[in-house]
Amino acid sequence: MKRREAVNLLYKIYNACQDITINAIQIDTINKENTYPDQDFVLLIKGKLSSSSHTILKVIAKNHNLEVSKRDGITIISNKSS
């Protein structure tokens, strides 16, 4: 997803999920070698999520044609894998 979409999604998730703090969610780039306008971004959520927040994340991701995955205790929202 592009940076603007990632920022908008960050605030949407923060407002929808009461157990996700603003310090627990961050925007990161997928490929560090690309230059800014063409970079793809992901949202990283650190910490344990309640089942209701996880369900909300899945719905938000689906509505934006994104996917939710988990790696090393971090929830990742990114473009769907091809």
In tens, the pLDDT along 5-63 reads 999 999 999 999 988 988 899 999 876 665 555 678 999 999 889 999 999 999 999 99
Q: What is the pLDDT, as a whole number, of residue 80?
A: 79
Which position has the higher pLDDT, 32 or 82? Answer: 32
Distance CA 41, CA 30 (A): 6
For residue 17, what pLDDT is reported?
92
Q: Which pLDDT belongs to residue 77?
A: 94
